[in-house]
Amino acid sequence: MLITQYPRQENGTEVRFDILRQDRITEGIVNKGISIQSTFGTLCALEYLQAEGVSPIVSKRVLSDANQRRM
């Protein structure tokens, strides 16, 4: 369950805490997918990311080329 709190300012832009929390959840899922890829291969990682609801665009980017990952 996401809890919406009052927005805060970040670099002059309003940022909602519920969006930040969802991004952190997705970040953890993607990191686990990358770990799965290194252990079990790309197909297993892709299936995991799909099952967790990560978009195909993000899945392709993070699993196909480490240079395309955001830091």
pLDDT computed for residue 28 by the predictor: 93
pLDDT per position as a tens digit, 30-56: 999 999 999 999 999 999 999 999 999
- Indicate if the pLDDT at residue 68 is higher than 70: no
The sign of the torsion formed by the CA atoms of 50, 29, 20, 3 equals: positive
pLDDT computed for residue 16 by the predictor: 60
Provide the residue type at 11 as one letter.
N
End-to-end CA distance of the chain: 26
Tokens for 17? 């805490």
Domain ranges of the chain: 33-59
pLDDT computed for residue 46 by the predictor: 96
pLDDT per position as a tens digit, 7-33: 555 556 665 655 556 788 888 999 999
pLDDT computed for residue 24 by the predictor: 84
